[in-house]
Amino acid sequence: MKIVILDGFAENPGDLSWDGIRAFGDVTVYDRTPKDAILTRAAGAEILVTNKTPLTKETLAHLPDVKFIALLSTGYNIVDCAYAKQRGIPVSNIPAYSTESVAQLVFALILEHTRQVGLHSRSVAAGDWAKSADFCYTLAPLTDLTGKTLGIIGYGSIGKAVARIALALGMRVKATSRTHTAGGDGGVTFCDLDTLIATGDIVSLHCPLTPETTGLVNRDFLRKMKPAALLINTSRGPVVDEQALADALNRGEIAGAGLDVMAQEPPQADNPLFTAKNCFITPHIAWAAYETRQRLMDVFTANIAAYIHGTPINVVNP
């Protein structure tokens, strides 16, 4: 059986092993595959594996041997799943492997804003503490999270994990989602979106990318936020209007932002958020911890094994 992994580097830059997959057949791993090389590299493959390499209808139509598509990700919009279903090709993703890891990065971004660890560490390394007249000093306002309100938009598994950490830190938590707009859940209060935006000291996005959420964070959204509020996005980049956010930061309409995702990845070098005030950006690394990627590899291997045994699991186009 021929198995081709089109873009394996992000999942395994060399610290994990593909041996679990090699046990199933003849495996070829490419770090990255440009669009014009997909057909050549995928030719003859029964199992085709992708992370971000697009598998469109036009591409799949020229790959008659493909019988199963395995994703190295949770998201599956990179594959034309409807066409794959027409062909009888199951598409399996990797669900819920990064929940805790994403929640941890949310608070890494929040704490970088509120405690300014990087700023002060660089200052100490530059010799400022050694020259200080006092035993301590601060270079920016520091904020205690206790009693602050965290607003969570999207109360799925990651939103719930974020809420648990916030509650452990003594924060108040409000949340809203398509299925939760009133009531409560173990210390979390549900409310409508406008109330959450207006009352959150921190607003954290955990909603899926849909036509309704694309551009959700726009000028009107940002103007409803508190001037001292932070915006955190670890969900999907297009949920945020990036120019509107840059403008709001530069005008001081909100206090700061922490982002792990962008509308285009990699982003253009002239993205306005790169020079916006108080904006911390990480390169889509919420999922990238070693332990998290190992969990992904384990589920991926199980997906391949289930297909080979005739009972595909985690199928997104049943």
Q: Cα–Cα distance between 160 and 28 in angstroms, integer? A: 38
Residues 129/123, Cβ–Cβ less than 8 Å = yes
Is 265 assigned a catalytic role?
yes
Write down the catalytic residue from 206, 236, 293, 295: 236
Is 236 assigned a catalytic role?
yes
Whether the CA torsion 292, 294, 296, 298 is positive or negative: it is negative
Residue in this structure with the two tokens 């009888």, named with its chain if needed? 88
Q: Cα–Cα distance between 113 and 107 in angstroms, integer? A: 10
Is 284 assigned a catalytic role?
yes
Number of C-beta neighbours around residue 236 at 10 A: 20
Q: Cα–Cα distance between 285 and 258 in angstroms, integer? A: 13
- Tell me the catalytic residues: 236, 265, 284
